[in-house]
Structure formats: structure tokens, C-alpha cells
Amino acid sequence: MNDENILKVTIMGREFSINCPEHERDELLLAADFLENKIQEIKLEGKIIDSDRIIIAAALGITHELLIFRQSNGFDIEEIRRRIADIRNKINNELTSS
């Protein structure tokens, strides 16, 4: 990994180093902030305590919102599924390399 392309984000108090092209840095920072806010919303509800379950609930909520938005704007659901699989693979690769 090229150190120039490494972006550090903090989610639930943990720092993650993510390989990210310069032109995508702002969007990725916004995505990390959005995820952190969704996590905090779920934590404040107090219904879920386990960190892993909170993260999964946040990811499912965000993904659900995205799918509804994309479907209402004429996006192809198969393309969305492919992109979700790609994102899932990237996340798994980052988590296993940390």
C-alpha cells in the first residue's frame, strides 16, 4: 500500500487505515462520519448493547436507505447487489489485513 493513499478514519473509537485514492478522500470521510452518526443514533436508543450488533444494525439501515433511494431513482438492483458485494469484499480485506 502506498502511504500517500492511506486515509485514517475513526469509527466507534477505533482507528482504521484505508487505502483511498486522493479524489475519493472527501467522500470517504463523509461516509465514515455518516456511519459514526448512525452508530451513535442506535447506541442512544439503548436497545442494542453489543458493538458488533450495533455496527451491523447501522450498516443494514444505511444499505436499506440506499437501496430504496436507488430503486426510486431507476437504478438497476443487480448493479446495486454487485456494488454491495464489492464493498463487502473490500471491508473484509481491510479487516483481515489490520
State the helix-helix crossing angle for 25-45 and 51-72, rounded to 10 degrees: 120
pLDDT of 75: 64
Assess contact for 41 and 20: CB atoms under 8 A: no
pTM of the shown model: 0.65
pLDDT of 2: 58
Q: Which domains does the chain have, with CATH numbers?
A: 3-97 (3.30.160.880)
pLDDT of 8: 92
pLDDT of 98: 59
Quickly list DSSP for 10-59: EETTEEEEEE--GGGHHHHHHHHHHHHHHHHHHHHH-S---HHHHHHHHH
Encode the chain (98 residues) as per-residue pLDDT tens digits.
556 789 999 999 999 999 988 888 988 898 999 999 999 999 999 888 888 899 999 999 999 888 888 777 776 767 777 888 888 888 877 777 75
